[in-house]
């Protein structure tokens, strides 16, 4: 057992005092609380710290203010320079003198694979699902929202409850996800929601409570986390910090409304509503009092009515107007709308709703409300921070492994990092990434036809600098993002059976803090690469297979949206579009019918299921495919090639991709040695720096230096 000494060179714009935050030390526990232990000045911009009796550690260098490195891991003494990475030894150490040339030079030893960091999320692949639309394990907790109810055309009965899938169903089908090869599951926000259409979880009402419509006896959120971990699967919890539902936050703040049970549409009559299970009135049919809101900080008159008059017939005077309800046609805004100017400024912004050009301007995006059921929280207020941070800390304590942050561009970056850094301090090593939706490259002020400024673009949130034209003005923020830039190219490339133009977006990887942590995808619950980005992928299966070949071998963390593995709801709009659309016509349709005991075998036999299963196995076996940057990148429409070099050759892969037709691939300047293709098993010895091979149409060649050889069985797309 020795000592671990680390040195850090402070960037000029950082504060003077540098700290080192530690966790996961071995063999002696030596963890710190944020921001960690002050480092010792060592002259110039250098600082040092020695951990006695420690061989390896996970760590973050920071200045106890807004600047920090990404999560790092070190198993030998060394020096870290932001933008360059680790160097062996102390600053200024000279390399060892070269030995005199011998007649026969000994072969260079193979580089040593760095010690594995258990918190390195880059080795994972993600399966993303809307919990309520995945698999129904407990029909007793099913629930119909007020909006978009599907009725049986023959009987008129309501069917396909919005809240249909649940934790019990997900637990029952964890082995399906594991068999498909995924090691992490991203679930939509599980906290309690309130809205006319809240099945997806993005209308938070109580961040401290899991929505009871997801849980069952023996199938709580904790049960799900434990069951996933028992199978080696991590849980990613979706988190919304930008907005709440239109009714406030239980126990904290109330937004003024009249109880919904008193609403009567124009031309209607109280007690005569016939809307699926909403018989009599539109109040919550599952609660005896037929009221949606049980907020203890609501006004006394509201709380007094909450517990009685479920039929909504006792006259109630609207304290805002003096009019009496129920009253047919009475202002729907008093039941469902929001007056932004009357919101509590301790919790909410009061700047109105986003419209028109607001969507491409930072200030209105970050202080105005997205929609009538997405009310913008005052995220800089300390009470808001305390509530949201402490609420999510509880789920991290339960075992949640990573967080996905919704609507990132609606929160100013440095403000967002306050939340991210607090969660990382509470659970060191937790992976946090976010959604900053852009339909384009997202290069902001650096051009590329972007009509939005850098401070609302994905790359900005992965950096710490403040120059919108220079990403290198600041280092890695430690926050990752969904790769909307790469996704946006798929409409014009993969959807047309070509890789043409893909290299262009990959050439801009330098703008991100760490491009290997980008979360890559073909589609999700909001977007798909067809038409105006609104539809599930509708291309041929071979096009999808070629897309997955790229996503699973390029830098980044692959993410699959539920059902992609069988072309589920191919070509359907991702969300409701028309006035009368119901979920069964969209990309958010219920998937559980494909997962029943009788049907699951056929589901698993789909060629794309087997294709993705094999890609997961290949990626898992080759560290370069999940940790290395890309180099030697080139594409020529029907083909593409690149190199992934991890830890200076410790894991080294040369990748060639073909789409539409067979392709010959040749890469110069590669390392010498014996390569084995993980797809075909073919072996090639390279002695002159050039590796050449042929790739079948819509397949891949993954030639790994001293690699394991063929992984998995051939299928129609990998062969």
Domain boundaries, the chain: 4-88, 256-337, 628-705
If pLDDT is split at 50, 70 and 90, which confidence band does 82 have? confident
Of 26-35, 208-217, 587-596, the poorest mean pLDDT is in: 26-35
Q: What whole-number distance in Å separates Cα of residue 424 and Cα of residue 291?
A: 38
Cα separation values, 32 from 384, 426, 510, 539, Å: 26, 11, 32, 51
For 128, the token pair is 């993303």
SS3 (DSSP) at 316: strand
> Residue 532: what pLDDT?
80
CA angle 258, 263, 265 (to 5 degrees): 145
Each as own residue / partner, the long-range contacts of residues 281-290 (CB below 8 Å, 24 or more positions apart, any chain) are 281/311, 281/312, 282/146, 283/259, 283/310, 283/312, 284/260, 285/144, 286/143, 290/261
In the predicted model, is pLDDT for residue 557 greater than 90? yes
If pLDDT is split at 50, 70 and 90, which confidence band does 14 have? confident
Is domain 4-88 annotated with CATH 2.60.40.10? yes
The sign one gets for the Cα dihedral 394, 398, 403, 406 is negative
Percentage of the chain with pLDDT > 90? Answer: 84
In the predicted model, is pLDDT for residue 203 greater than 80? yes
Radius of gyration of the chain (CA): 27
Residues 6+ apart with CB under 8 A from 90: 5, 7, 48, 77, 79
> Residue 24: what pLDDT?
78
If pLDDT is split at 50, 70 and 90, which confidence band does 108 have? low
Nearest to 372 by CA among 344, 339, 411, 407: 339
Q: What whole-number distance in Å separates Cα of residue 599 and Cα of residue 596?
A: 5
The sign one gets for the Cα dihedral 178, 180, 185, 187 is negative
In the predicted model, is pLDDT for residue 320 greater than 70? yes
Residues 6+ apart with CB under 8 A from 116: none
If pLDDT is split at 50, 70 and 90, which confidence band does 102 have? very low
The DSSP bridge partners found for residue 151 are 158
Please, what is the average pLDDT of the chain?
94
Average pLDDT for residues 280-303, to the nearest whole number? 95
The alpha carbon of 640 is separated from its chain's Cα centroid by a whole number of angstroms, namely 27
CATH class of 628-705: mainly beta
Average pLDDT for residues 547-551, to the nearest whole number? 98
Average pLDDT for residues 479-495, to the nearest whole number? 94
pLDDT single digits (tens) 567-602: 999 999 999 988 899 999 999 999 999 999 999 999
User: 442 and 453 in contact (C-beta within 8 Å)?
Assistant: no
> Residue 12: what pLDDT?
81
If pLDDT is split at 50, 70 and 90, which confidence band does 307 have? confident
Average pLDDT for residues 177-205, to the nearest whole number? 98
Average pLDDT for residues 490-507, to the nearest whole number? 92
Average pLDDT for residues 320-324, to the nearest whole number? 96
Average pLDDT for residues 3-9, to the nearest whole number? 93
> Residue 105: what pLDDT?
43
Per-residue DSSP letters for 143-178?
B--SSS-EE-TTT--EES-SB---HHHHHHTHHHHH
For 689, the token pair is 């720096």
Of 42-56, 278-292, 666-680, the poorest mean pLDDT is in: 42-56
Average pLDDT for residues 174-187, to the nearest whole number? 98
Whether the model pTM is above 0.85:
yes
Of 546-555, 576-585, 695-704, the poorest mean pLDDT is in: 576-585
In the predicted model, is pLDDT for residue 107 greater than 70? no
Average pLDDT for residues 176-191, to the nearest whole number? 98
Q: What region, left, alpha or beta, does residue 420 occupy, with left being phi > 0 and alpha being psi -120 to 50 degrees?
A: alpha
In the predicted model, is pLDDT for residue 292 greater than 50? yes
Nearest to 228 by CA among 122, 115, 120, 129: 129
Average pLDDT for residues 259-284, to the nearest whole number? 95
> Residue 98: what pLDDT?
41
Average pLDDT for residues 439-457, to the nearest whole number? 92
H-type helices in 372-412, by residue range?
Answer: 382-398
- For 170, list phi and psi in degrees, rounded to 5: -65, -40
Domains 4-88 and 628-705 share a fold: yes
Q: What whole-number distance in Å separates Cα of residue 433 and Cα of residue 429?
A: 13
509-526 burial, b for 16+ CB within 10 Å, e for fewer? Answer: bebbbbbbbbbbbbbbbe
Highest mean pLDDT among 34-43, 84-93, 696-705: 696-705
- For 50, list phi and psi in degrees, rounded to 5: -115, 130
For 82, the token pair is 């932001």
């Amino acid at each position: 057992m020795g000592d671990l000494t680390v040195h850090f060179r402070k960037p000029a714009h950082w504060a003077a005092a540098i700290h080192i935050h530690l966790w996961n030390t071995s063999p002696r526990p030596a963890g710190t609380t944020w921001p960690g232990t002050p480092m010792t000045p060592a002259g110039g911009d250098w600082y040092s710290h020695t951990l006695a009796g420690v061989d390896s550690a996970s760590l973050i260098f920071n200045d106890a203010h807004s600047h920090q490195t990404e999560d790092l891991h070190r198993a030998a003494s060394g020096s870290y320079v932001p933008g360059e990475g680790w160097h062996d030894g102390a600053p200024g150490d000279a390399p060892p003198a070269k030995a005199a040339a011998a007649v026969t030079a000994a072969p260079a030893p193979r580089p040593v694979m760095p010690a594995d960091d258990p918190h390195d999320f880059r080795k994972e692949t993600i399966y993303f699902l809307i919990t309520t639309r995945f698999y129904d394990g407990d029909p007793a907790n099913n629930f119909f929202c007020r909006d978009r109810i599907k009725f049986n055309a023959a009987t008129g009965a309501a069917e396909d409850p919005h809240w249909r899938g649940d934790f019990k169903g997900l637990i029952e089908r964890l082995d399906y996800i594991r068999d498909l090869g995924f090691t992490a599951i991203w679930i939509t926000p599980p906290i309690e929601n309130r809205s006319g259409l809240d099945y997806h979880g993005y209308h938070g009402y109580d961040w401290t409570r899991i929505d009871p419509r997801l849980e069952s006896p023996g199938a709580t959120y904790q049960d799900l986390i434990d069951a996933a971990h028992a199978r080696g699967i991590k849980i990613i919890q979706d988190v919304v910090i930008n907005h709440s539902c239109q009714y406030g936050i239980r126990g904290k703040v109330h937004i003024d409304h009249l109880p919904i049970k008193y609403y009567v549409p124009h031309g209607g009559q109280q007690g005569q509503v016939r809307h699926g299970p909403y018989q009599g009135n539109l109040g919550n049919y599952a609660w005896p009092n037929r009221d949606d809101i049980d907020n203890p900080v609501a006004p006394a008159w509201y709380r007094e009515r909450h517990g009685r008059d479920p039929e909504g017939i006792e006259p109630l005077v609207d304290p805002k107007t003096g009019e009496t309800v129920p009253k047919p046609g009475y202002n729907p805004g008093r039941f469902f709308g929001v007056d932004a100017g009357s919101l509590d400024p301790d919790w909410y912004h009061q700047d109105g709703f986003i419209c028109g050009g607001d969507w491409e301007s930072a200030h209105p995006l970050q202080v105005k409300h997205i929609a009538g059921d997405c009310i913008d929280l005052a995220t800089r207020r300390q009470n808001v921070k305390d509530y949201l941070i402490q609420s999510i800390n509880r789920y991290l304590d339960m075992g949640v492994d990573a967080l996905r942050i919704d609507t990132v561009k609606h929160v100013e970056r440095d403000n967002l990092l306050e939340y991210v850094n607090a969660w990382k301090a509470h659970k060191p090593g937790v992976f946090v990434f976010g959604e900053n939706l852009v339909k384009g490259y997202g290069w902001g002020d650096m051009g590329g036809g972007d009509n939005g400024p850098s401070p609302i673009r994905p790359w900005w949130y992965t950096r710490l600098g403040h120059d919108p034209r220079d990403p290198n003005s600041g280092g890695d923020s430690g926050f990752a993002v969904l790769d909307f830039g790469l996704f946006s190219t798929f409409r014009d490339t993969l959807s047309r059976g070509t890789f043409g133009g893909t290299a262009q977006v990959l050439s801009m990887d330098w703008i991100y803090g760490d491009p290997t942590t980008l979360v890559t995808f073909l589609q999700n619950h909001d977007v798909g690469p067809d038409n105006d980005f609104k539809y599930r992928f509708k291309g041929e299966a071979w096009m999808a297979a070629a897309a997955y070949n790229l996503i699973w071998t390029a830098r980044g963390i692959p993410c699959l949206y539920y059902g992609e593995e069988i072309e589920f709801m191919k070509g359907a709009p991702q969300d409701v579009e028309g006035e009368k659309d119901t979920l069964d016509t969209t990309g958010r349709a219920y998937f559980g019918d494909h997962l029943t005991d009788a049907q699951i075998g056929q589901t698993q036999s789909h060629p794309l299921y087997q294709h993705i299963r094999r890609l997961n196995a290949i990626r898992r076996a080759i560290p370069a495919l999940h940790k290395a940057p890309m180099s030697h990148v080139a594409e020529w429409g029907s083909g593409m090639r690149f190199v992934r070099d991890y830890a200076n050759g410790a894991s080294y892969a040369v990748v060639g991709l073909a789409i539409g037709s067979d392709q010959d691939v040749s890469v110069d300047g590669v390392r010498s040695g014996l390569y084995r293709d993980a797809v075909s098993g073919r072996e090639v010895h390279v002695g002159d720096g050039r590796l050449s091979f042929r790739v079948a149409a819509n397949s891949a060649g993954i030639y790994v230096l001293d690699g394991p050889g063929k992984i998995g069985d051939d299928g129609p797309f990998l062969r």
